[in-house]
Amino acid sequence: MIPSTVPPKYKITIDHDKCILCGRCAKECAWDAIRKSKDKIITYDNRCGSCFRCASMCPRDAITIIENPSQGRKHPVWTPEARQDVLNQANSGCILLSGMGNAKDYPIYYDNIVLDACQVTNPSIDPLREPMELRTYIGSKPEKLEFEYIEEEIDGKKVKKSKLKTKIAPNLKLDTPIMIGHMSYGAISLNSHKAMAKAVKRCGTFMGTGEGGLHRDLYEYSDNIITQVASGRFGVNSEYLSKGAAIEIKIGQGAKPGIGGHLPGEKVSAEVSMTRMIPEGSDAISPAPHHDIYSIEDLAQLVRSLKEATRWKLPVFVKISAVHNVAAIANGIATSDADAVVIDGFKGGTGAAPKVFRDNVGIPIEVAISAVDDRLREQGNRNKVSIIASGGIRNSADVFKSIALGADAVYIGTAAMIAMGCTVCGRCYGGKCCWGIATQRADLVERLEIEEAADRVSNLIGAWTHEIKELLGAAGINSIESLRGNRDRLRGIGLNEVELKALGLKQAGL
């Protein structure tokens, strides 16, 4: 046997002067990286993913997890991670799995965009004293309105009254432009879903079910749920479709463009199996393509079928991952009777993705929003669909910038999970999330307190909403629709001419 030639990534250190040998750390670690042996705590550094559960729960603050300084010979190309990947594949002959979003050091364009603010001639607006409107409607709008005029007699006088002739398609009404994107039951726990459902209801917004169906316990949140139809069609039946306020067809996902999904059998518990309508313990495979969609016409047909199945009462969204020709695809979607196009950038999270996809496929969401908004406007289709942006939205400034670049609203995923306790350790695919979020193991799921997690998620959305109001006020804008596509309020900094052009931004100072 060839021993591992790469040192463990993390190092767990126990301060034995502080440790009282309570064994809590060993109980908390689902990865068996810490064990208690009589009068000693023993650590297994190579199993540690740095999820920090043990350190957080230690009553004596006796645990430290650091990046292992003993990395062997330093090499600029053959980093420990690169060598570890080679070793893992040399051992297994398999595709490498990973969790969370793209972990490579690509530029984050959001951080090279600065916002504009008011000074003398356009006074800033104080959201505490003046109305600040964040209400957003997601769905198709007509290009123009038509009215008919009827003469009525009121108190003996003939009055001409106008009546709206144009029919407005069903739209989702959002009190804040922040929704929680699709993370399936199976990939994450029921407690996580329940907490997020409570949060979005409180905030007047929506969450996606992901492709894992909708657990009956969430039926009471129907008015705030977007159901998803992915290639695996897990849990999809007419009852499921009617239990949401909108339906989303998932074609692609930012973390893994061009491929489907895979929920390992060990995550398919009895409840997950019932909700997904698949046998317990079986792998749930979503194929890369939908086997009834091989063209934009096929997609249009599915959009209409889903509308027909729900009596044309629900808006239908189509989610695609951000790739280089995303604008053309989005424009095709806009002409397919779909009501919104969801674009998921390559920093988007995931429960499990082949590492090579997660880190190398797709494009940043910022440029995708810009390209899609431009193309839809050029083709006269912008009113036909809303744009929902997702994939790496980290704070309210990212939301603000996304909308100014052209989005109607955003989906957050990882941020909501972090609010619930996720430490972005990236081992969601292992099913042993020590924080009870990305796991189905009953003892771990129990660790997530639903009410507390719901409070934290709604606090997060509420706090960002406050911040967006302040940012709008600073920009002299009192309704979110005047921010949509308002790239004039943004400037690029540290970007080259081509990048500025792709984003549709002027350089700071101009």
Partner 1 sequence: MCGIIGFMSKKGRLIKGDKIAKALDSLRDRGNGEGSGYVGYGIYPEYADKYAIHVFIDNTVDFPQIKSKVEEILQRYGIIVKDEEIPVDDSVIKKEHISWRFFYEMDEKYAEIEEDKIVEMVIEINSKIDGAFIFSSGKNLGVFKAAAWPDEVAKYFKLDTYEGYMWLSHARYPTNTKGWWGGAHPFNLLGWSVVHNGEITSYGTNKRYVESFGYECNLLTDTEVVAYLFDLLSRKHKLPIEYVIGALAPRFWKDIDNMDDEKRKICEAIRMTYAGAAMNGPFAIVIGTNQGLVFSNGEVDNKNDMLGFTDRIKLRPLVAAEKDDLLFISSEEAAIRLICPELDRVWMPDAGKMTIARFEE
* Phi and psi, residue 350, nearest 5°: -165, 160
- Would you say 25 and 57 are in contact if contact means Cβ atoms under 8 Å apart? yes
> Is 481 a residue that touches partner 1 (CB under 8 A)?
yes
Q: Which is nearer to partner 1, 267 or 484 (CB)?
A: 484
Judged by CB under 8 A, the number of residues near partner 1 is: 44
73: amino acid identity, one letter: R
- Taking the least distance from each CB to partner 1, the nearer of 66 and 164 is 164
Establish if 145 lies at the interface with partner 1 (CB under 8 A). yes
Least distance between partner 1 and beta carbon 355 (Å)? 39
Query: Which among 180, 168, 186 has a CA at the least distance from the CA of 224?
Result: 180
The residue among 76 and 131 lying less far from partner 1, judged by its C-beta, is 131
Would you count residue 131 as binding partner 1 (CB under 8 A)?
Answer: yes
Query: Smallest distance, Å, CB 109 to partner 1?
Result: 18
CA-to-CA distance for 330 and 318, rounded, in angstroms? 9
The structure tokens 């194929």 sit at 287
Binding to partner 1 by CB under 8 A, coded x per residue (else -) over 338-377, reads ---------------------------------------x
- Cβ partners under 8 Å of residue 199, min gap 6: 180, 207, 416, 454, 455, 457, 458, 461
Bridge partners (DSSP) listed for residue 32: none
Helix, strand, coil % over all residues of the chain, rounded to 5: 35, 20, 45
CA within 13 Å, CB half, 269: 15
**Looking at beta carbons only, is 231 or 386 nearer to partner 1?**
386
User: Measured from the CB atom, is 177 or 252 closer to partner 1?
Assistant: 177
Q: State the Cα–Cα distance between residues 487 and 291, nearest whole angstrom.
A: 39
Binding mask 40-69 for partner 1 (x = CB under 8 A): ------------------------------
383 binds partner 1 (CB under 8 A): yes
Residue 128 makes contact with partner 1 by CB under 8 A: no
Q: Report, in Å, the least distance between residue 227 CB and partner 1.
A: 23
What lies within 8 Å, CB to CB, of 46 at 6+ separation is 4, 8
Work out which of 46, 88, 222, 486 binds partner 1, going by CB under 8 A: 486
Site for partner 1 (CB under 8 A): which residue of 201, 382, 432, 447?
382
Report if residue 485 touches partner 1, rule: CB under 8 A: yes
- Residue pair 110/400 in contact (Cβ under 8 Å)? The answer is no
Which CB, 106 or 137, lies closer to partner 1? 137
DSSP state of 448: S
Could you list the residues that contact partner 1 (CB under 8 A)? 118, 120-123, 125, 130-131, 133, 135, 137, 141-147, 162-164, 166, 168, 171, 377-378, 380, 382-383, 404, 475-479, 481-489
